[in-house]
Amino acid sequence: MSLHFFYRYIVGLFLEYMKLSDEGLHPEKVFKYCPVCGANTLTFKHGRAFMCDTCGFEHFFNAAGAVLAVIVNPKGELLVSRRAKAPFKNTYDLPGGFIDPKESAEESLLREIKEELNVEVDTYELCFTVPNQYPYSGVVIFTVDLVFKVTVKTPEHMKACDDVAEFLWVPPQQLHSTFFGIQSCNVAIQKLGLIP
């Protein structure tokens, strides 16, 4: 084994460890007190809503919307970013993020690409959506991830910004079913046939 491949092997083991170390609990296990009256009388129903038995407050855990961008260059390489922050810090990711309140998914896509890669979107096309679970601050956030095929203007000006540590172009031969830390990214590249 050459030194280069040994290094890649060690980095791979480290990334696998990072993936396993990011876990979140279902909200049922974390939220104890009613955010309206402060009583510890929250009852969870069907795993997706809680109700306060004291004041009657009710809240549903609906899926949060998020966008993922699949950007492939003329050589067939996929644009991959490396996460600068937890959860899944240092694992590979696709550009994108959560949709802000009162924002459309398309607006979110354009904003996230500008924030993370410092370039404007040229064209985009919604391919499909993937349900996902995203651990944050010890709690699982249930999401629905909208997967877009994207082209950008001036790809030569791309720069890793915001919560992206770096980006790289990865040939299909190096992609596999557990390549990304975030599971919906793995599902996305499989459904798009990007894994050989």
The correct pick among 37, 126, 165, 168 for binding Zn ion (CB under 5 A) is 37
Rule CB under 5 A: is residue 126 a binding residue for Zn ion? no
**Least distance (Å) between residue 34 CB and Zn ion:** 3
Rule CB under 5 A: is residue 54 a binding residue for Zn ion? yes
CA distance 159 to 81: 11
The residue among 41 and 190 lying less far from Zn ion, judged by its C-beta, is 41
The correct pick among 15, 19, 52, 180 for binding Zn ion (CB under 5 A) is 52
| Residue labelled with tokens 């802000």 | 100
Rule CB under 5 A: is residue 40 a binding residue for Zn ion? no
The correct pick among 10, 11, 30, 36 for binding Zn ion (CB under 5 A) is 36
> How many binding residues for Zn ion (CB under 5 A)?
7
- Which residues on adjacent β-strands are paired with residue 166? 82
CA distance 157 to 97: 21
**Residue 39 Cα distances to 45, 57, 170, angstroms:** 17, 11, 52
Rule CB under 5 A: is residue 43 a binding residue for Zn ion? no
CA distance 69 to 59: 31
Rule CB under 5 A: is residue 177 a binding residue for Zn ion? no
Strands (E), the chain: 42-45, 49-52, 58-60, 64-70, 78-83, 92-93, 96-98, 121-136, 139-152, 164-170
**Least distance (Å) between residue 37 CB and Zn ion:** 3
The residue among 10 and 30 lying less far from Zn ion, judged by its C-beta, is 30
Q: Would you tell me which residues interact with Zn ion (CB under 5 A)? A: 34, 36-37, 52, 54-55, 57
